[in-house]
Amino acid sequence: MRETRDEGEGREPIGLAAEVEAARERMAEIYGHSEFRPGQAEAVGAVLCGRDAIVLLPTGSGKSLCYQLPAIEAARRRAGTTIVVSPLIALMQDQVGALVGRGLAAAALHSHQGKEEQDEVVARLLRGELTLLHVSPERVARADFRRVLERVRIALFAIDEAHCVSQWGHDFRPDYLRLSELREHARAPMMALTATATPRVLGEIASQLGLRDPSIVRAGFDRPNLRFEVRALRTEAARLGALEQALEADSLRSRRGAGRAIVYCSTRKTTERVAKALREAGVAVGHYHAGRTRLARERAQQAFEVGRTRVLVATNAFGMGIDLPDVRLIVHFQTPGSLEAYYQEAGRAGRDGEPARCLLFFGEGDLATQRRLAERSASSAALDRRRQEALAEMERYARATDCRHRRLVSHFTGRADEPECGRCDACRDEIVDGVDEEGHPAHDRRRPIRSLPAQSLEAIVSAVGRLTRPVDRLGLARALRGGRAKALARGGLLGLPEYGALADHDEHSIIAAIDGLLAAGRLERVGRRTRRVWIPGKPVRSKAARRPGARDDGTELGEEGAGPARSRPGGSARRADGEIARALESYRRRTARSLQWKPYRVLPLATMRAIERAEPETLEALARVSGVGPMKLERFGEDILELVRRHRGRDSD
pLDDT exceeds 50 at position 555: no
The residues facing 327 across adjacent strands are 260
d(CA 190, CA 156) in angstroms, rounded, equals 6
Of 323, 346, 351, 350, which Cα lies nearest the Cα of 336? 346
Tens of pLDDT, residue by residue over 192-241, are 998 877 888 888 889 889 999 899 988 767 788 999 999 998 889 889 98
pLDDT at site 445: 41
* Percent of the chain topping pLDDT 90: 27
Topology (CATH) of 226-413: Rossmann fold (3.40.50)
Q: How far is CA 291 from CA 286, 315, 508, in A?
A: 14, 10, 43
d(CA 286, CA 579) in angstroms, rounded, equals 31
Tens of pLDDT, residue by residue over 17-36, are 678 888 888 888 888 888 88
pLDDT exceeds 60 at position 459: yes
Pick the CATH number of 576-652 from 1.10.150.80, 3.40.50.620, 1.10.1610.10, 3.40.605.10: 1.10.150.80
Pair 335, 399: CB distance under 8 Å:
no
pLDDT exceeds 80 at position 15: no
d(CA 185, CA 133) in angstroms, rounded, equals 16
pLDDT at site 379: 65
Pair 162, 192: CB distance under 8 Å:
yes
Tens of pLDDT, residue by residue over 134-191, are 998 888 888 889 899 989 999 999 999 888 887 655 567 777 888 888 888 888 999 9
d(CA 246, CA 542) in angstroms, rounded, equals 24
Tens of pLDDT, residue by residue over 270-298, are 999 999 999 988 899 999 998 999 889 98
Highest-confidence range of 222-231, 433-442, 601-610, by mean pLDDT? Answer: 222-231
pLDDT at site 435: 45
pLDDT bracket for residue 650 (50, 70, 90)? low
Which has more confidence, 446 or 159?
Answer: 159
pLDDT at site 176: 82
pLDDT at site 385: 80
Tens of pLDDT, residue by residue over 349-361, are 998 888 999 999 9
Highest-confidence range of 328-332, 519-523, 606-610, by mean pLDDT? Answer: 328-332
Q: State the CB neighbour count (10 A cutoff) for residue 32.
A: 21
Pair 67, 191: CB distance under 8 Å:
yes
pLDDT at site 170: 56
d(CA 363, CA 410) in angstroms, rounded, equals 24
pLDDT averaged over every residue in the chain: 81
DSSP, residue by residue, 540-555: ---TTTSPTTB-TTSP
pLDDT exceeds 50 at position 133: yes
Pair 169, 163: CB distance under 8 Å:
yes
pLDDT bracket for residue 380 (50, 70, 90)? low
Q: How far is CA 590 from CA 27, 96, 182, 600, in A?
A: 27, 21, 43, 12
Q: Is 506 helix (H, G, I), strand (E, B) or coil?
A: coil
Domain 2-218 and domain 226-413 have a common topology:
yes
Topology (CATH) of 2-218: Rossmann fold (3.40.50)
| Range 563-566, long-range pairs (CB < 8 A, 24+ positions) | 563/256, 563/257
Does this model's pTM top 0.85? no
pLDDT bracket for residue 378 (50, 70, 90)? low
Of 62, 17, 15, which Cα lies nearest the Cα of 37? 62
CATH numeric code, 454-561: 1.10.10.10
d(CA 165, CA 113) in angstroms, rounded, equals 26
d(CA 163, CA 159) in angstroms, rounded, equals 9
3-state helix, strand, coil in the chain (%, to 5): 45, 15, 40
Which has more confidence, 380 or 46?
Answer: 46
pLDDT at site 398: 92
Across 8-12, 188-192, 193-197, 480-484, least confident range: 8-12
Of 561, 605, 564, which Cα lies nearest the Cα of 582? 605
Across 313-327, 422-436, 453-467, 476-490, least confident range: 422-436
Across 79-93, 515-529, 614-628, least confident range: 515-529
pLDDT at site 190: 95
pLDDT bracket for residue 312 (50, 70, 90)? very high
Q: Report domain extents, the chain.
A: 2-218, 226-413, 454-561, 576-652
